[in-house]
Amino acid sequence: MTSRTIMESFTQHKVAANLLMILMLLSGIWGLSQLNRQLMPDFTLELITVDISWPGASPRDVEANLLEALEDELRFIESADRVDSTAFEGRASAVVTFEDGADLAKGLTDIQSAVARITTFPTDSERPVISQVLPNELVGRLELSGPFPEKALKILAQQLRNDLLDLGLAQVEINGARDTEIWVDVPETELRRLDMSLNDVAERIGAESIDLPAGQVFSGNVSRQIRSEGLARNAAEVGDIEIMSTDTGEKLKLKDIAKVYEAFEEGSASHLVQGDSSIGIIIKRSRGIDSLTAQRKVEAYIAGLQAELPSTLKVSMFDIAADMVRERLSMLLWNGFVGLVLVLIVLYIFLNGRTAFWVAAGIPVAIFATIGGMAIFGLSLNMISMFAIIMGLGIIVDDAIVVSEHAEFLHRQGASPADAALRAAKVMSLPVLAASITTIAAFSPILTMGSTVGMILRELPITIILIIIASLIECFLVLPMHLRGALEAIDRGPKKGPSKFHLAFNRFRDTRFSVISEFSFANRYSTITATFCLFILGILMMASGRVGFDFFPSPETDYIAVNIALSPGSGRDVTESMLLEAERAAYAIEERLGGGNGSLISFGFGSLGTSVGRSNDSPMLGDYVGGYTVELMPSDLREMRTSDFISAWEDEIRPVPGVEALTVFEVNVAGPPGKDLDVRLSGAPLDVMKAAAMEVRTAVARIPGVNGVSDNLPYGMEEYVLDLTPEGRAMGFTTESVARQIRNTFEGAIAKRFSRDQEEILVRVRLASDDRSINGLRGIYLQVPNGREVPLTEVVTLRSQVGFSQIRRENGLREVAVTASIDQQVTTINEVASLINGLVLERVRAEYGVNAEFKGKAVEQAGAMGDFSIALLLALSVIYIVLAWVFSSYSTPLIIMAVIPFGFVGAVFGHYIMGFALNIFSLQALMGLAGIMVNDSIVLVMTIKREMAAGSSLSEAVLVGTKERLRPVIMTTTTTVVGLLPILFETSQQAQLIQPLAVTLVFGLLLSPFLVLFYVPALLGVGADIKSLRGGKRVMQAG
C-alpha cells in the first residue's frame, strides 16, 4: 500500500484516524509512567581510578615508589587518553581517562591486570583499589548532628544507610565518619626491658587474636566442627592478650606493658554543625530511578525517624537535587502551557475556528506520542528533553498549518471538504517531508559529538526527531479526516464573509506587500547587498566583543564553600576553631544583611581534616586543612546574589595566626566537569613551578568576577630526611630497612584487621606518644640484621626540609594547576583566558622557563567546538543532499540554504538585546534554526516553480508565490515565536541555562519572513540572471 493510498484510507475512514489518535495518546500516558524525572540526562564519564594507601609516606616517596611504577603500566592501556595522578601524604591516586566511546568494562579489566603485574610496590603499602567513576545524580544529603559522641552518631548513620538501601536507593554513602582503631601504645623502655620490638608485639597479637577452624571430629554417623575462638574484638580483650611468660612463670599481658584503647583514625575527616559533631550521608540515584520518587521516600523515612529521636539530635536534609528538578520541570511545564495558549490564540486569529481547534488538538497528540517514544528509547524528562518538547511545539504546528491552510485555500477555490483535505495533504506531503528530513539532518549530527557536553545534549536531537515523526503521523494520517469534518461543518453552517482581520490582511497582501515584493525582486542586487550588510554587522558585533561567548553557562548556584589551610603540622583543634569562625562569619552576614531567621542560609556544615567543594578534585587531607560549605536559600527567594555573599563572607572571616590559605568559591552542581579557569604549569622543578603559580594566582585574583583562586601544590609539613651513613651500610642496613623500622615505630605496625559493626577495625602497635617526638626519634634503636640493636644516630644523619603536601602529574610529567571560579554575570571564561594569556602567561613562560596551557573547561570547550564544527558540516552536507534530491538541481539547494547564515545574525542581535553571551546551547539552537528556516524556503521555492511550470514568468511566479506563502510563513513564524516567548521572558534563575536557546530561535525566526519572502526570491532572480548571461554568451559564441 502506497503512502497516498494510506492517506486516502485514513481520510475517508470514519474511525481509523480517531483510533490512531487514541493510540498515540495512550502511548504517552504509558510513557509518563515509565519516564524518570531528573535534572540532566544520564551520561557516562570515561574514568577509572586507582587508589593506593601507604600510611606514613611523604608525597615525594609516594611519587617515586607508587606513581612512577603505576604510570608506566597505565599510560599504555588500550584506548587510554591520559593518566592524571596525584601523590598525597600516605596515599596515591591515579585517574585514567579513556577515549570517547571506549569499552570501559574492558578498560577496567585491563587496568586490573596491569596493576597486578607491578611487583615493585613497597611491601607495606596496601592493596590497590580500582573502580569506575559512576556519575550518579545526587538525590540529597543528610547530616546527623547534636551533642552526642561521634561513635553514637556513627551507629545511627549506619542504621540510616541500611534502611535507605532497603528502600531501593541504589547508592548511599556515609561521609565524615572516622574509622575506629585499637591503639597499643608501648613505651620504648618496656620494649628494651623485654628485649622486644614493635614487630614482635604485633606478631604476638596477630597470633593470639584469631578464630580458626580446626577440622571435624566424627562420632559414629555424626560429625562435629572444631573451632578455635580467640579473636579479640575490643580494647579490653586486646589488652588481655598474653605477650610472654617470665622466668618466674608470671604471665605478662599486653595491658601490663602498654596503653590499649580505642580511638579514631588520625588525620581522617570529620564533620561539625554549629560546634557539635556530625556525620553526613550522601544519597544518589542510579539510572532507572526517578529523582522525585527517591526524594519522597527519603523525606517520608526521615519524618518517621525524627519523631523517634531525641529533640537535640537533628537529621537535616539539604542539597536536594530533586527540588531543583521539580523547580525546573515546573518552570518548563508552566512556560510550555502559556506558550501553548499563545499559539492557540494565533491559530484562531489566522484560521477558521474549527480548523484552528484541530490544528491545536494535534499538539498534545504529537507530544503524547513523543513521550511514548522517549520511554521506548530510554530517555528521561529533564531540562534538555523538556526544552526540546517546547521547541517542538513550533514544529508540530508548522506541519499542521501548512496542510490546514492549503486545505482552506482549496476549499475557498470550490473543492469539496474531502477533496480539499486530501489534496492538501498530498500536495504538501513532499515539501513537508523534505522540510522534516532537513530538520532531522540539522539536529542529528549532535549525536556524533563525543564530549561530555555532547552526551548531555544528545537527548535534544533524539526528542526532536521523535517529535517530527509524531508530527508527520498526526499531520498526514489524523489531521486530514478532522479537516474534512471542519470544512463540512463550515458548508453546513450559515455563510459568513471574511472577518475584519482577514479582510485587512488580504488588503495588505494585495497592496502594500505586493508592491514591496515587486520592488525587492526588481532591485534584487540591493536586497542581497542589504542582507549581506546585516551579516557583516553581526560578525562585527561578535569580533568587537559586544556579544561575548560563554561556553557552558551555569545558573547562579546556591552552594558556596571556603577552604582553609593552616601551617602544616597545626593541630586539629586550631583548624576546628577556624571552621567555627567561618561558620560565625556566615551567620553574621545573614543577620546583618538578610535579617536572620534563615533569610539567606538554608544549611551549613564544616569538614575537618579535608578540603571541600570542588567536584572531580582530589581533596587535601590532614589535620591542618578544613572546609565549610553553605547552602544558601534558592536564588529566586533571596535578594542577595551569590557573588555578593562570597565577597562579604571573605571580608567577615577573621583568620587566626597560621592560616596560609583561605579560599571562598562557588560550588557548581551541574554541567560538565572541570574548573571555570584551569591553567597548567609544567616542565620545571616543583619549587620553580610553585613560584610561577603564585605569580599567576596574584594576577588572576585582580580580575573582576574571578574568585576562589588557588593552586594544587600546597606546602606540606616539615620533613626529616634520613641519609644512610657508610657505617650504617657496613652494618647491613639499607634505606628501605631503616625506613620500615622507623615507620613501624612512628606510624605503628598493623597487628590485626577484623570486621566489627559493619566496618574494618585495625589494631595498630606503636610507640608511646612521648617517644614519638623528635627527641624520641633521635633516641630510638634500630635492629641490626644479626639481631643486636644500635642507636639511630649511628646509622643515619638527619636533616630537615619543607616539602609539598601533594604532587600532581599528567602522563608522567609533574604539573601545577592554578584554578578559579568565574562569575558569569561579570565576565566569561574566554575574556579571562584572553587577559591571562596576553598579560601573564607569556611573562611567566619567559621568566620561569615553564610550559603554560589552559585545561579544564577550556579543553572541554575546544573538544566540544571541534565536535560541533564537524557536526555542522555534516548537517549542511545532509541538508544539501536532501534538497538536491527534492529539486533535482545542484544550484537550487544553495539558494535555499543561503538563509542559514542569517539565522546567526538574528541570534547575535537577540543575545545583544537580551544581554546574554552566546554559548554551546545557542550554537545547538542555530542548527535547529537552520532546519526551521529552510522549511519555509522549500515550500516557497516549490510554489514558485509550480507557477513557472504553469507558464508564468519568474517575476510573476515570485509575486504569486510570495503572496500565497505570506500567511503561512507569518503563521509558522509567529506560532513558534510566541510558543517560546514565556521562556524568553522567564525571570527565574533556573531558566538562565536554556534561555539562550530561546533567544537564538526567537530572534532568528523574526528575520525569517524577510529572508524567505524577499532574500530567497532575490537569489532566484540572480541565478536566473546568471543563466541568462551564460546563455547569451553561448549564442554570441555560436554566432
Predicted confidence at residue 577, as pLDDT, reads 93
Dist CA 690 CA 679 (whole Å): 13
Look up residue 576 and give its three cell numbers.
Answer: 576546628
Is a pLDDT exceeding 60 seen at residue 213? Answer: no
Most confident option among 205-209, 853-857, 901-905: 901-905
CATH number of the domain located at residue range(s) 3-34+324-492+500-551+861-1035 in this protein:
1.20.1640.10
From 18-22, 398-402, 466-470, 520-524, the region with the lowest mean pLDDT: 398-402
Q: What is the rounded average pLDDT of the residues 934-955? A: 87
Residue 233: φ, ψ to 5°: -110, 0
CATH number of the domain located at residue range(s) 558-669 in this protein:
3.30.70.1430
pLDDT in tens, 473-515: 999 999 999 888 888 887 776 666 567 787 888 899 889 999 9
From 107-116, 394-403, 511-520, 578-587, the region with the lowest mean pLDDT: 394-403
Q: How many CB atoms lie within 10 A of CB 348?
A: 15
Which residues does residue 186 pair with via DSSP β-bridges, in sequence order?
767
Do 678 and 857 contact (CB within 8 A), yes or no? yes
Task: Please enumerate in sequence order all residues whose Cβ is within 8 A of that of 803, keeping only pairs 6 or more positions apart, or say none.
Answer: 58, 59, 60, 715, 716, 717, 719
Which residue shows C-alpha cell 509524531?
Answer: 470
Do 424 and 404 contact (CB within 8 A), yes or no? yes
Predicted confidence at residue 219, as pLDDT, reads 52
> Mapping DSSP to helix (H, G, I), strand (E, B) and coil, where does residue 212 land?
strand
Q: How many CB atoms lie within 10 A of CB 352?
A: 22
pLDDT in tens, 75-92: 889 989 889 999 988 889
Dist CA 348 CA 511 (whole Å): 24
Q: How many CB atoms lie within 10 A of CB 252?
A: 14
Hey, what amino acid is at 443?
F
Is a pLDDT exceeding 70 seen at residue 537? Answer: yes
Task: Please enumerate in sequence order all residues whose Cβ is within 8 A of that of 748, keeping only pairs 6 or more positions apart, or say none.
Answer: 183, 198, 764, 765, 766
Look up residue 132 and give its three cell numbers.
Answer: 569506575
Is a pLDDT exceeding 70 seen at residue 1036? Answer: no
Look up residue 368 and give its three cell numbers.
Answer: 503524547
Q: Where are the alpha helices (DSSP H) in 888-992?
A: 892-897, 900-914, 920-949, 954-984
Which residues does residue 212 pair with via DSSP β-bridges, in sequence order?
228
* Terminal Cα-to-Cα distance of the chain (whole angstroms): 55
Greatest extent of the chain over all pairs of C-alpha atoms, in Å:
135
Dist CA 508 CA 967 (whole Å): 11
**CA-closest candidate to residue 859, choices 437, 452, 399:** 452
User: How much of the chain, in percent, has pLDDT values that exceed 70?
Assistant: 93
Is a pLDDT exceeding 80 seen at residue 894? Answer: yes
3-class SS letters over 321-381: HHHHHHHHHHHHHHHHHHHHHHHHHHHHHHCCHHHHHHHHHHHHHHHHHHHHHHHHCCCCE
Predicted confidence at residue 74, as pLDDT, reads 92
State the Cα torsion 405-409-414-417 to the nearest 10°.
0
Query: Is the CATH number 3.60.10.10 carried by domain 46-133?
Result: no
Whole-number CA gyration radius for the chain = 36
Dist CA 50 CA 94 (whole Å): 5
Is a pLDDT exceeding 60 seen at residue 679? Answer: yes
- Where exactly does CATH 1.20.1640.10 map onto the chain? 3-34+324-492+500-551+861-1035
pLDDT in tens, 109-135: 999 999 999 999 988 888 999 998 877
**CA-closest candidate to residue 185, choices 258, 242, 255, 239:** 258
Residue 672: which pLDDT band, with cuts at 50, 70 and 90? Answer: low
Long-range contacts: 248-255, Cβ < 8 Å, 24+? Answer: 252/194, 254/184, 254/201, 254/205
Is a pLDDT exceeding 90 seen at residue 920? Answer: no
Residue 533: which pLDDT band, with cuts at 50, 70 and 90? Answer: very high
Predicted confidence at residue 216, as pLDDT, reads 53
Look up residue 137 and give its three cell numbers.
Answer: 545524580
Which residue shows C-alpha cell 508592491?
Answer: 515
Q: What is the rounded average pLDDT of the residues 692-708? A: 88
Predicted confidence at residue 816, as pLDDT, reads 92
pLDDT in tens, 293-350: 888 889 899 988 888 888 889 999 888 877 878 877 787 788 878 888 888 888 888 8
Predicted confidence at residue 404, as pLDDT, reads 87
Fold of the 675-714+805-855 domain:
Alpha-Beta Plaits (3.30.70)
**CA-closest candidate to residue 848, choices 680, 665, 695, 960:** 695
Q: How far is CA 502 from CA 146, 489, 562, 957, in A?
A: 72, 20, 64, 23
pLDDT in tens, 1013-1028: 999 999 999 988 888 8
Task: Please enumerate in sequence order all residues whose Cβ is within 8 A of that of 987, keeping only pairs 6 or more positions apart, or say none.
Answer: none
Name the DSSP class of 770.
G
Is a pLDDT exceeding 60 seen at residue 1033? Answer: no
What is the residue-averaged pLDDT of the chain?
A: 84
Task: Please enumerate in sequence order all residues whose Cβ is within 8 A of that of 580, keeping only pairs 6 or more positions apart, or say none.
Answer: 272, 275, 606
Residue 145 Cα to chain centre, angstroms:
30
Q: How far is CA 305 from CA 144, 229, 284, 340, 1011, in A?
A: 12, 38, 20, 44, 64
Is a pLDDT exceeding 90 seen at residue 581? Answer: yes
Name the DSSP class of 519.
H
Do 852 and 836 contact (CB within 8 A), yes or no? no
Is a pLDDT exceeding 70 seen at residue 451? Answer: no
- Where exactly does CATH 3.30.70.1440 map onto the chain? 675-714+805-855
Hey, what amino acid is at 58?
S
Strand 138-145 and strand 276-284: the pairing is antiparallel
**Residue 1015: HSE in the Cβ half-sphere, 13 Å Cα cutoff:** 28
User: How much of the chain, in percent, has pLDDT values that exceed 90?
Assistant: 24
pLDDT in tens, 998-1014: 899 899 888 888 999 99
Residue 1035: which pLDDT band, with cuts at 50, 70 and 90? Answer: very low
Q: Where are the alpha helices (DSSP H) in 590-715?
A: 642-652, 686-701
Identify which has the larger pLDDT, 669 or 459. Answer: 459
Q: What is the rounded average pLDDT of the residues 144-164? A: 91
Q: What is the rounded average pLDDT of the residues 930-952? A: 85
Hey, what amino acid is at 827?
T
State the Cα torsion 325-329-330-332 to the nearest 10°.
150
Dist CA 1001 CA 226 (whole Å): 78
Q: What is the rounded average pLDDT of the residues 273-293? A: 86
Predicted confidence at residue 980, as pLDDT, reads 84
CATH class of this structure's domain 188-217+226-257+718-804? alpha beta
- Where exactly does CATH 3.30.70.1430 map onto the chain? 46-133, 558-669
Task: Please enumerate in sequence order all residues whose Cβ is within 8 A of that of 204, keeping only pairs 6 or more positions apart, or say none.
Answer: 241, 243, 244
Q: What is the rounded average pLDDT of the residues 675-684? A: 87
Is a pLDDT exceeding 70 seen at residue 877? Answer: yes
Is a pLDDT exceeding 60 seen at residue 4? Answer: no
Predicted confidence at residue 1031, as pLDDT, reads 64
Length of the chain: 1039
